């Protein structure tokens, strides 16, 4: 009892306040690892920078720092905070529901444009200001998929010594965008804001449309996105307000609406908590998407442009039906891992030639998970691309075309009276399921987008 009591009464110190923030911003859940890494940075902070954390801790202990909800609005107490968050949650669902209902009634549901946003940063201050590294946006509708996009790398300007060290560490562990050199021009936030407004097709006096973004655990990513847009507007001397909504809310409501309009009998349920899990698990996270820089370093996983594409692909995966028309590179990646390993003979040679498979990122993140002798060959096909400015490029034919696919990799295992062959058949079948389950979370059946 005494030990428990002593832990409860143990006073926080400035370093622990710093370490908690460091672990939160770098998605570190292990306390020992987090405190060790934070300690290395803490040692290099100046006395002035350390004093900032001590002062912040004192203000927190005196209760002078108010509670904030996920929209950075002041809440008086915890009960009010919970109530306000619930009201925000319900209000956002109602707004989305109203938009979908009106567009459906007017016959424009499948043409309605949704906007996705993502950002990354070098460092975020205790006051919430972010020193941005990259932002990206995309336009999506059910008919065209992702049909326009843009992204830009941002030079936030010089950082203090303490923040520069933290920025380098954060960048190295996430997006790996190098800190700009001092002689490079600082980004013009007025131009960035104008680019965003032009992309959103917002004329003077018009309402800014809803923007959807990843929310992350405890809305951390959503807050980061709101801080990014707030930083841009403030540095551009603008009083514009953006409304950022978790993309799982859109998936939840749009899934319901699409199943209703398709008159599907007994459609599978997708509650909000499952929609959030779908977004977090990110079916397309290992695909080779994103800007040229992140592709060149094989880090599409952390690319903002990749993330705004992946949000659209996920919406397509769950909201489009099997008979809906889908465009490669717009509704699903140019590169797809198929679920044909259970039934490879179902595809003819022409269909095989349209399948592209990329395992570089997968192999990096899951060493030796998939036996190499169970994988199909890489097959490249003509496909149209969209560049970072949203322009559609002409179809190209990849120079590397596999001339031959091994017979053992395209034929279904045949039943045999020979026990050795039977054992081999079971082994190959299990390996095939391993590949499928890794990418689908165990979902049975053929892939919706691989035909």
Residues 246 and 365 occupy one common structural domain: no
In this predicted structure, the answer to whether residue 444 has a pLDDT above a threshold of 50 is no
pLDDT in tens, 289-300: 888 889 888 888
For the segment 109-113, the average pLDDT, to the nearest whole number, is 95
Query: Which helix (H) or strand (E) segment is 141 a member of?
Result: strand 130-141
Please check whether residue 1 lies inside any domain of the structure: no
Are 126 and 133 in contact, with CB atoms under 8 Å apart?
A: no
Choose the final residue of a domain: 276, 296, 311: 311
Per-residue confidence band for 217, with pLDDT thresholds at 50, 70 and 90? confident
Percent of the chain with pLDDT over 90: 31
Q: Last residue of a domain, which of 42, 65, 88?
A: 65
Residue 321 lies in a domain: no
Containing domain of residue 55, as a range?
12-65
Structure tokens at 338: 């198929």
For the stretch 232-265, pLDDT in tens is 999 999 989 899 999 999 999 999 999 888 776 6
**Degrees (nearest 5) of the Cα angle 404, 447, 271?**
160
52-91 pLDDT, tens digit each: 777 777 766 655 445 555 454 555 555 566 666 777 778 8
Pair 252, 171 in one domain: yes
Residues 85 and 173 in one domain: yes
Q: What is the mean pLDDT of residues 419-429?
A: 47
Token digits of residue 397 = 């034919």
Q: Residues 187, 241: one domain?
A: yes
| Structure letter (DSSP) for residue 302 | G
Q: Is residue 4 part of a domain?
A: no
Q: Point out the domain boundary residue: 33, 48, 65.
A: 65
Q: How far is residue 355 from each of residues 320, 339, 379, 449, measured CA to CA in Å? A: 20, 11, 6, 11
Decide: 356 and 380 in contact? Cβ < 8 Å: yes
Evaluate whether residue 319 is within a structural domain. no
pLDDT greater than 70 at residue 434: no
Distance CA 72, CA 85 (A): 11
Task: Give the per-residue pLDDT at 204.
Answer: 67
> Across residues 275-300, what is the average pLDDT?
87
Is there a single domain that holds both residue 267 and residue 153? yes
Beta-bridge mates of residue 145? 141
Amino acid 63: pLDDT: 55
Which residues are CB-neighbours of 139 under 8 A, at least 6 positions away? 113, 114, 115, 146, 147, 148, 149, 199, 390
What's the CATH code of the domain at 282?
A: 3.30.420
31, 147: one domain: no
Q: How many angstroms separate the CA atoms of 216 and 227, rounded? A: 15
Answer yes or no: do 300 and 417 share one domain.
no
Q: Give the SS3 label for residue 151.
A: strand
Higher pLDDT pick, 302 / 443: 302
Instruction: Decide: pTM greater than 0.85.
Output: no
φ and ψ of 75, to 5 deg? -120, 135
C-alpha 159/C-alpha 185 separation (Å) is 14
- Do residues 241 and 147 lie in contact, with contact meaning Cβ atoms separated by under 8 Å? no
Is residue 327 a part of any domain in this protein?
no
How confident is the prediction for the chain on average, in pLDDT? 71
Mode of pairing for the β-strands spanning 74-75 and 67-68: antiparallel
Shared domain for 122 and 162, answered yes or no, is yes
Q: Which has more pLDDT, 107 or 82?
A: 107
Work out how many domains the chain is built from and give that number: 3
Whether 423 is in a domain gets the answer yes
Question: In this predicted model, what pLDDT tens digit does every residue of 399-421 receive, in sequence order?
Answer: 332 233 333 333 333 334 444 44
In a domain, 86, yes or no: yes
Is residue 387 included in any domain, yes or no? yes
Together in a domain, 158 and 17: no
Q: Are residues 86 and 219 in the same domain?
A: yes
Residues 369 and 424 in one domain: yes
What is the average pLDDT across 18-37? 77
Regarding whether 208 and 142 lie in a shared domain, the answer is yes
Checking if the pLDDT of 364 tops 50, the result is no
């Amino acid at each position: 009892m005494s030990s428990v009591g002593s832990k409860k009464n143990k006073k926080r110190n400035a370093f622990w306040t710093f370490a908690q923030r460091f672990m939160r911003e770098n998605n570190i859940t292990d306390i020992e690892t987090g405190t060790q890494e934070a300690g290395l940075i803490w040692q290099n902070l100046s006395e002035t920078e350390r004093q900032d954390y001590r002062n912040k801790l004192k203000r927190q202990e005196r209760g002078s720092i108010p509670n904030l909800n996920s929209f950075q609005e002041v809440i008086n107490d915890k009960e009010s905070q919970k109530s306000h968050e619930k009201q925000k949650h319900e209000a956002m669902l109602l707004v989305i529901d109203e938009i979908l209902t009106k567009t459906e009634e007017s016959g424009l549901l499948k043409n309605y444009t949704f906007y996705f946003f993502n950002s990354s940063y070098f460092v975020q201050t205790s006051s919430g200001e972010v020193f941005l590294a990259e932002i990206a946006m995309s336009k999506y509708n059910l008919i065209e998929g992702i049909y326009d996009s843009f992204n830009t790398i941002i030079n936030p300007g010089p950082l203090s010594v303490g923040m520069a060290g933290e920025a380098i560490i954060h960048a190295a562990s996430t997006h790996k965008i190098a800190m700009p050199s001092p002689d490079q021009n600082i980004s013009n936030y007025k131009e960035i804001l104008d680019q965003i407004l032009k992309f959103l097709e917002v004329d003077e006096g018009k309402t800014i449309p809803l923007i959807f973004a990843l929310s992350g655990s405890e809305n951390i990513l959503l807050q980061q996105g709101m801080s990014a847009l707030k930083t841009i507007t403030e540095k551009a001397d603008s009083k514009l307000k953006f409304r950022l909504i978790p993309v799982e809310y859109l998936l939840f409501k749009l899934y319901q609406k699409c199943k209703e309009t398709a008159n599907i009998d007994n459609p599978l349920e997708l509650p909000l908590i499952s929609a959030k899990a779908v977004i977090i698990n990110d079916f397309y996270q290992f695909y080779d998407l994103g800007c040229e820089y992140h592709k060149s370093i094989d880090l599409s996983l952390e690319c903002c442009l990749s993330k705004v594409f992946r949000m659209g692909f996920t919406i397509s995966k769950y909201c489009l039906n099997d008979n809906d028309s889908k465009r490669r590179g717009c509704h699903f990646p140019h590169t797809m891992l198929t679920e044909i390993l259970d039934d490879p003979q179902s595809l003819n040679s022409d269909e095989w030639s349209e399948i592209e498979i990329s395992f570089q990122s997968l192999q990096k993140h899951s060493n030796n998970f998939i036996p190499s002798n169970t994988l199909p060959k890489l097959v490249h096909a003509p496909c149209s691309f969209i560049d970072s400015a949203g322009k559609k490029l002409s179809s190209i034919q990849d120079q590397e075309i596999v001339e031959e696919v091994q017979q053992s990799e395209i034929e279904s295992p045949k039943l045999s009276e020979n026990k050795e062959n039977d054992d081999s058949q079971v082994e190959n079948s299990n390996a095939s399921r391993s590949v499928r389950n890794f990418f689908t979370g165990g979902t049975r059946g053929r892939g919706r987008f691989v035909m």
